[in-house]
Chains A and B, each alone.
Chain A
Amino acid sequence: MKAIEVENLSRSFNSLRAVDNISFSVEAGEIFGFLGHNGAGKTTTIRVLSGQLLPDSGHGRVAGCDIVTEQHRLKPLIGVVSEHQNLYERMSGRENLEFAARLYGQEPRRIDAVLELVALLDRAKDKVQNYSNGMKQRLVIARSILHRPQIIFLDEPTRGLDPVVGREIRRLITDMSKQGVTIFLTTHYMEEADQLCDRVAFLSEGRIVALDTPNKLKTAHGANQVNVTLDNGESISIALDGPDAGEQLRQLVNDGHVRTLHSAEATLEEVFIQLAGRRLAE
């Protein structure tokens, strides 16, 4: 079953074509990565799919709802974690969730459950302005799952967070996915996408330039070779598709001089550079 279906979707801002005729689909329960440079159109896509913006052309269905004509049905079925920690800073963590619960018509008792899930129960009464970045991000995630959405859009959820908090957020994402929630994720971190996503799409200047599983992308676009380091420090690269690759490798191992042996498949970042023409961080 498709959680998200997009067909020829476009959205412009004046003369800038932020999203240019993109088509893709996401299966229910999948973690789908949407990767691209700043300004590639990732956030615009999320805003169009979550009903915050109307598309100029094309069609989209999210959780079975048309993104233009069925927004009132769509919005209770999705959760959005914005790239900004858009919380009410003068209110406490609990007050932020109480407000969200009223908007979504949720029972207040659900609040304690999500606060516990993101390990903020003991700080629930503190004002958000006194929270650390990591705590704010956990609260934004708590708010997005409060109403048990079918699909969650996460826009750069780990940006600017320290590695420990980043790992904690990734754990939350994995947990949500295990519960059957579809995750639509944008990130700058290729390792994160590689680790979390079932499939990824590379976006460049508003267009999708590649879409597949991370493994298939790496295999299709990476070098098919192994790197061997010998006892004397010498490094040798052996192309696996060469005629005598097997014999060469066997000989080195038999000689007993091999210290390390690594496959040299491309990283997701290298694939991205090949396809999009520049590094993701640029």
Chain B
Amino acid sequence: MNFNIISAITRKDLIDAIRHRYLLTALVTPLFVALLFRVMLPSMDGGKFLTLVVHDAGSSGLVAMLRETPKVDVVQAASADATAKEIETRKAIGGVVVPANFDADMTAGKQPELTVYVNHEKTPFEQAAFRQLLDRMVRVFSKQPEPARLVWVDIGKGANDQPAARVSLDQILLPLLLILTFGMTGAFIVPLLIVEEKEKRTLDFLLSSPASLKEILAGKALTGMVYTLLIAGLLLGLNRAAVRNWPLTFLTVVVGLLFVVAVGLVVGSLLKNTMQVNTWASIVLMVLLAPSVPSLGISRWFDTVMRFIPTYYLSEALKLSMAGTVSSKLWTHLAVLLGCTIVVFFVAVWALKRRG
């Protein structure tokens, strides 16, 4: 393989892609969706007020900080026991019971316990936003990686039905947006780059030039990878507070990228024109994207079915690596994903040989 030829094809495609209406749309869609989420969903920076009930036994600096946070309305509860009732009465998103010696224990590095109530009558996104807010505030207040033991207590209707929903907003949205970015690469970007060369007969020119079919496809794959890394990097950068382990997250992103590029090569090899890509890509995208949804805990049946789609393992691996959880589960997810990537690459080779 000649790297000069591969880089020439990648360079051409990188410039040409931003002049291509469909490709440009596919590239900016994840960023647009991210922006939409930021505008529409409640978060620390969001436009809605979060009402929060607090019982503060010892005038904690954490509560003072919460009171100063814009868009957060803090209400005092009479006692620790009355906090849950007060949350339901005021229809608040949740509440916090801060023990009397909280600040002192934390300074001493004792990791004091903080009871946090989450109201399940609110939407999963509001709950996630609240979890994220509190998690961040405690971290900022203590300036330590593991400052306090947060004890989450679910209250309100449906609290017992959705035990799996204990996730922060970032843990739902960021993997979803990253998989949307990956999905766009696998379903639209790489297939369109290949199919357009067939449709416009420029593939004939490439094949009569010193470029081999392998080099042409490597160039296309590299273009997809560059653009996807750029968009994924932007998304992670904008939500950098949610990433606790950058090397691990980068590793997961690269493994995910290899998988979707292989999917893109298969789709691009099998389809003949842009219209076919537009028709099939939406289906491919939905399949790739679906496994990032179960974190909302829609149903156990749905969750089981999703395990047959490789992006389920990517979604789970992203959550774990972003949270900095180095566990055997993470390595298993990455191994499954790598295995799927190898299989899909073999399918791509078969599809291309069949075309030849």
A272 to B204, CA, bound (A): 30
Contact A75 B201 (CB under 8 A): no
Contact A102 B4 (CB under 8 A): yes
What is the chain A residue whose CB lies nearest that of B19?
Answer: A90
Q: Which of A78, A84, A88, A102 contacts B208 (CB 8 A)?
A: A78
Contact B204 A104 (CB under 8 A): no
A227 to B207, CA, bound (A): 52
Beta-carbon contacts of B1-30 to A below 8 Å, as 1s and 0s? 000110111011001100110000000000
Contact B204 A52 (CB under 8 A): yes
* Given A86-B200, A88-B16, A91-B16: A104 in contact with B205 (beta carbons within 8 A): no
Contact B8 A75 (CB under 8 A): no
Q: Which of A75, A84, A99, A143 contacts B210 (CB 8 A)?
A: A75
Please tell me if B202 contacts chain A, counting CB pairs below 8 Å. Answer: yes
Beta-carbon contacts of A72-89 to B below 8 Å, as 1s and 0s? 100110101010101111
- Tell me how many residues of B have a C-beta within 8 Å of chain A: 24
Name the A residues within 8 Å of B356 (CB-CB): 54
Please tell me if A51 contacts chain B, counting CB pairs below 8 Å. Answer: yes
Please tell me if A100 contacts chain B, counting CB pairs below 8 Å. Answer: yes
Name the B residues within 8 Å of A78 (CB-CB): 208
Please tell me if A16 contacts chain B, counting CB pairs below 8 Å. Answer: no
Contact A82 B204 (CB under 8 A): yes
Contact B8 A103 (CB under 8 A): yes
Please tell me if B211 contacts chain A, counting CB pairs below 8 Å. Answer: yes
Q: How far is the CB of A83 from chain B (nearest CB, A)?
A: 9
Q: Which of B8, B202, B210 contacts A88 (CB 8 A)?
A: B202
Name the A residues within 8 Å of B201 (CB-CB): 82, 84, 86
Name the B residues within 8 Å of A80 (CB-CB): 204-205, 208
Please tell me if B209 contacts chain A, counting CB pairs below 8 Å. Answer: yes
Contact A103 B210 (CB under 8 A): yes
Name the B residues within 8 Å of A104 (CB-CB): 209-210
- Tell me how many residues of A have a C-beta within 8 Å of chain B: 27
Contact A86 B209 (CB under 8 A): no
Q: How far is the CB of B119 from chain A (nearest CB, A)?
A: 53
A82 to B202, CA, bound (A): 9
The listed residue with most A CB atoms (<10 A of its CB), out of B201, B209, B212, is: B209
Contact A87 B208 (CB under 8 A): no
Q: How far is the CB of B242 from chain A (nearest CB, A)?
A: 37
Name the A residues within 8 Å of B8 (CB-CB): 99, 102-103
Name the B residues within 8 Å of A100 (CB-CB): 209
A84 to B7, CA, bound (A): 26
Q: Which of B20, B204, B209, B210 contacts A90 (CB 8 A)?
A: B20
Contact A86 B20 (CB under 8 A): no
Q: Which of B12, B20, B200 contacts A99 (CB 8 A)?
A: B12
Q: How far is the CB of A183 from chain B (nearest CB, A)?
A: 16
Contact A103 B209 (CB under 8 A): yes
Q: Which of A47, A87, A89, A103 contacts B211 (CB 8 A)?
A: A103
Q: How far is the CB of A207 from chain B (nearest CB, A)?
A: 24
Which B318-356 residues sit within 8 Å CB-CB of chain A? 356
Q: How far is the CB of B24 from chain A (nearest CB, A)?
A: 11
Name the A residues within 8 Å of B19 (CB-CB): 90-91
Name the B residues within 8 Å of A95 (CB-CB): 15
Please tell me if A243 contacts chain B, counting CB pairs below 8 Å. Answer: no
Which A28-77 residues sit within 8 Å CB-CB of chain B? 47, 50-52, 54, 71-72, 75-76
Which B202-233 residues sit within 8 Å CB-CB of chain A? 202, 204-212
Residues of B with Cβ closer than 8 Å to A?
4-5, 7-9, 11-12, 15-16, 19-20, 200-202, 204-212, 356
Residues of A with Cβ closer than 8 Å to B?
47, 50-52, 54, 71-72, 75-76, 78, 80, 82, 84, 86-91, 95, 99-100, 102-105, 143
Beyond the given A54-B356, A75-B209, A88-B200, please list 7 additional residue pairs across the A-B interface where CB-CB is below 8 A.
A72-B212, A80-B204, A84-B201, A86-B201, A88-B16, A102-B8, A104-B210
